[in-house]
Amino acid sequence: METIDLEQHFDAKLAKNEMIEPKDWMPDNYRKHLIRQISQHAHSEIVGMLPEGNWITRAPSLRAKIVLLAKVQDEGGHGLYLYTAAETLQISREELLDQLHTGKAKYSSIFNYQTLTWADIGAVGWLVDGAAIMNQVMLQRTSYGPYARAMVRICKEESFHQRQGYEIMCHLAFGTPAQKEMAQDAMNRWWYPTLMMFGPKDANSSNSANAIKWKIKRESNDELRQRFVNQTVAQAEYLGIKIPDENLKWNETKKGYDFSDPDWAEFNNIIHGHGPCNKERIGARVKAHENGKWVREAAAAFGKKQNAIDVAA
Amino acid sequence: MNNQALFNFLLRIGDTNLILAQRLSEWTGHGPFLEEDLALTNIALDLFGTSRSVLEYAAKIEEKGRTEDDLAFLRGEREFVNPLICELPNGDYAFTIARQCIVDAFQLHFYSELVKSKDETIAGISAKAIKETKYHFRHSASWMERFGNGTEESHERLQNALNFIWAYTEDVFATDAGYNELIKTGIVPEMAAIKSAWEKSMNEVLAKSSVSKPENVFMQKGSLKGIHTEQFGYLLTEMQYMQRAFPGAKW
Ligand SMILES: [Fe+2]
Ligand SMILES: [Fe+2]
């Protein structure tokens, strides 16, 4: 088939909402876009283990510790599903990790913020996982098969995460004055960064148009952000926690809340490496990778020797 | 309370699992590669789970209205009775694996006997723990084999780890008068048989891993009396921070 036929075939598949599979022909830009997006997503999962991992050794009860540890492990598992999905696009894990470690690949900027108190663990689960779910639910219907299937598995676990985060917030919000204060402080610090998670406003989002054309993304940044705000207001009210936005107001015409923009200058700073923890996060990943080098080498060398024995036997 | 011996024994098992899990969980997010990070975290989760069940039972036996969290987060250094080996800092991955293998082999043989305990709760907890520990031991023993026979560097790291850690092996099998009381009532097994089964298992693993067993080692002891290493206070400080800083709060 000529490229033009292949391209028509590809477009026709998309039009019929059929999945694109690894063996199918796909435009080069589609492949590149997917590698970028899936690997960015995978990196976000494993970098995301760090801010929450920061509280594993200090979790305030055995139950809370076990729940948090299992959650952080889930995120690592998500990273694994996603790296595997990215690998179907003919790129190796080693290359992908190298892009993360050298700063060539991005990850969600939210993980460059600090987890300063235990309430941050609640806020991250409730708000950050909550925002992630908005994106991820949509991605279960993304056009690339392996990515969509990874997202189905991931979404099942994500809803637990959000519930667990909200549960932590409940304990705090209905606890002692010090706990309430801790919860409000976490909200004050995490609200705007969470809004940034949906990406720039549609008008300023360069990658969005293609992603929607190729049915990789099915809803725009602004649509998802609006849905998140609408859902979160009532949850915050129940907790008696104030959302730090004087302009937050119900708008009857659009049947949704009006709300303030996050500080996009701050967002750009973080994307360009100047967030509170960018260097720490990448530093921790690089350190783990380097410290693990001899372990991986030992496993590989041993595997080779075993194979040689098996062949000889 | 006339169950002091039983309470002390439960603390020993609960603390063994809790403190080792606390150390393992420091690796989460920092493992040598993703699959192994997840595997080690799984082991930490199992150990935390066991410690929680055991400490919950200990609190019940004690009858002083304490909870498993009170026991984990509000006891001081001298009240913890985990074997010293559990609290040793992680070191490199060879050290973590060597520490794990030594404790896994012990727990495997120990639970295999403890499952016959006349105390039904203990027998039940042990039955669940055996299944988990079998997997843990397979994991740590297979890494011992990989390190011992992998590269020169991995071999050296493993041998160095063993040379340091061997001094803490005898303390794992420590018993006291209370423990001997419990043997008589059929609640716990004789430790001597467990120790020889452990030695056999370790000899096999060490041989397969082409490393040597350290000889003429001066053995450290003290855990049953709450005499710990210097690092232990820091571990507790971190683990207990929230409960100490916010007394009486619910989480
Ligand atoms: Fe995730
Ligand atoms: Fe999550």
Instruction: Dump pLDDT digits (tens) for A218-256.
Output: 788 999 999 999 999 999 999 999 999 999 999 999 999
> Average pLDDT for residues B194-213, to the nearest whole number?
98
Whether A249 and A181 have beta carbons less than 8 Å apart is answered as: no
Bridge partners (DSSP) of residue A20 are A144
- A299–B38 CB contact, under 8 Å: no
Say whether A294 and B42 touch across the interface (CB within 8 A).
no
The answer to whether residue A15 neighbours chain B at the CB level (below 8 Å) is no
Contacts with B45 from chain A: Cβ below 8 Å: 66, 69-70, 73
Determine, yes or no, domain membership for B251. Answer: no
Which residues in A lie closer than 8 A to residue B26 (C-beta atoms)?
A: 56-57
- CA A94 from centre of chain: 20
Which chain B residues are Cβ-neighbours of A69 within 8 angstroms? 25, 28, 41, 44-45, 48
Report the alpha-carbon distance of residue A188 to residue A244 in Å, rounded.
Answer: 6
Average pLDDT, stretch B122-134?
98
Contacting A residues, span 99-128, partner chain B, CB-CB under 8 Å: 118
Confidence check: pLDDT of A209 > 80: no
CA distances from A227 to A46, A129, A133, A209, A233 (A): 26, 14, 11, 20, 11
Q: State the virtual CA torsion across B58, B62, B65, B71 in degrees, nearest 10.
A: -40
Residue corresponding to tokens 């750009």 = A268
- Neighbour tally for B116: CB within 10 Å: 13
Q: Answer yes or no: is B92 within a domain.
A: yes
Angle at alpha carbon of residue A74, lines to A72 and A77, rounded to 5°:
120
Mean pLDDT of B66-76: 98
- The count of domains in chain B is 1
Say if A294 is an interface residue toward chain B (CB within 8 Å): yes
pLDDT (mean) for B86-108: 98
Q: Cα–Cα distances in Å, from B103 out to A56, B77, B78?
A: 22, 21, 22
As a whole number, the mean pLDDT across chain A is: 94
What is the pTM for the complete model shown? Answer: 0.96
- The overall average pLDDT reported for chain B is 97
Q: pLDDT digit string (tens) for A105-139?
A: 999 999 999 999 999 999 999 999 999 999 899 89
Strands A256-258 and A249-251: antiparallel
Q: What is the pLDDT of residue A219?
A: 85
Query: Per-residue pLDDT for B2 more than 60?
Result: no
Give the confidence band of A182 by pLDDT, cuts at 50, 70, 90: very high
Contact call for B32 and A53, based on CB within 8 A = no
Mutation target among A52, A71, A73 for the B interface, most CBs of B within 10 A: A73
Q: Over 70: is that where the pLDDT of B241 sits?
A: yes
Nearest to A224 by CA among A137, A163, A153, A160: A137
Q: How far does residue A79's CA lie from ligand 1's centre (Å)?
A: 7
Helices (H) and strands (E) in chain B, counts: 11, 0
The answer to whether B29 touches A76, Cβ cutoff 8 Å, is: yes
- Tell me, yes or no, whether B250 lies in a domain: no
Q: What is the pLDDT of residues A230-240, one digit of tens each?
A: 999 999 999 99
As a whole number, mean pLDDT of residues A72-79 equals 98
The per-residue pLDDT for range A17-44, each reduced to its tens digit, is 999 999 999 999 999 999 999 999 999 9
Tell me the one-letter amino acid at B104.
Answer: D
End-to-end CA distance of chain A: 48
Say how many residues make up chain B: 251
Q: What percent of chain A has pLDDT over 70?
A: 99
Which residues on A lie below 8 Å from B251 (Cβ)? Answer: 60-61, 64, 118, 168, 171
Q: Is residue B182 part of a domain?
A: yes
At a CB cut-off of 8 Å and minimum separation 6, what does B94 contact? B147, B154, B157, B158, B160, B161
Instruction: Determine the pLDDT at residue A274.
Output: 92
Binning chain B into helix, strand and coil, the percentages to the nearest 5 are 70, 0, 30
CA B106 from centroid of its chain's CA atoms: 9
Mark which residues 94-133 of B lie under 8 Å from A by CB.
none
Mean pLDDT for the stretch of residues B67-79: 98
Integer Cα distance of B163 and B140 in angstroms: 17
Taking residue B120's Cβ as centre, other Cβ atoms within 10 Å add up to 8
- The beta strand positions in B117-233, using DSSP E, are none
**What is the complex's ipTM, to 2 decimals?**
0.97
| A304 touching chain B per CB within 8 A | no
When mean pLDDT is compared across A135-139, A165-169, B160-164, B234-238, the lowest value belongs to: A135-139
> Which CATH number characterizes residue B85's domain?
1.20.1260.10
Residue A115: the pLDDT is 98
Residue B120 structural domain: 3-245
Assess whether pLDDT exceeds 90 at residue B202: yes
